[in-house]
Amino acid sequence: MQIKTINKLIGYGILVFTIGFFFGLLWFQHLQLLMPIGSLSTFVGIVYFFKDTNLHEQFRRPHNEDVLTYFWNVIVLKFWTLVFVLWMISMDLTLMFQGLI
């Protein structure tokens, strides 16, 4: 699977999850069912990322790229993806144990 497709899976999964979270809390409770769908999309993207990607190559800094650009493009994006995944896991567990799913 291409990196572009994997990034779309992860990005759209985060978007669908966030829409389900906020609209499910503020507007219509049944929209919270979008949260597991977004989580599933993100988790599938992460599984394909780890399956197809050589992590040594993924985190290598190109010689023509400065340190700050490398930091924002690679390290920070991966960190925020991890933060969203942890939020997804905790909210999905909350939905399951609160009985909303």
Domain boundaries, the chain: 3-98
The continuous run of DSSP H or E covering 30 comes out as none
Q: What is the pTM of this model?
A: 0.73
Q: Record the tokens describing residue 12, joined without a space.
A: 């759209």
Instruction: Kindly indicate the confidence band of residue 11, based on its pLDDT and cuts at 50, 70 and 90.
Output: confident
Residue-wise pLDDT tens digits, 39-58: 989 888 888 888 877 767 66
How high is the pLDDT of residue 101? 53
Instruction: Kindly indicate the confidence band of residue 1, based on its pLDDT and cuts at 50, 70 and 90.
Output: low
Spatial separation of the C-alpha atoms in residues 42 and 99, rounded to whole Å? 23
Q: Identify the CA nearest to 8 among candidates 38, 50, 51.
A: 38
Residue-wise pLDDT tens digits, 56-100: 766 677 777 777 777 777 778 888 888 888 988 888 888 888 866
One-character DSSP codes across 62-74: PTTS-HHHHIIII
User: 10 Å Cβ neighbour count for 52?
Assistant: 11
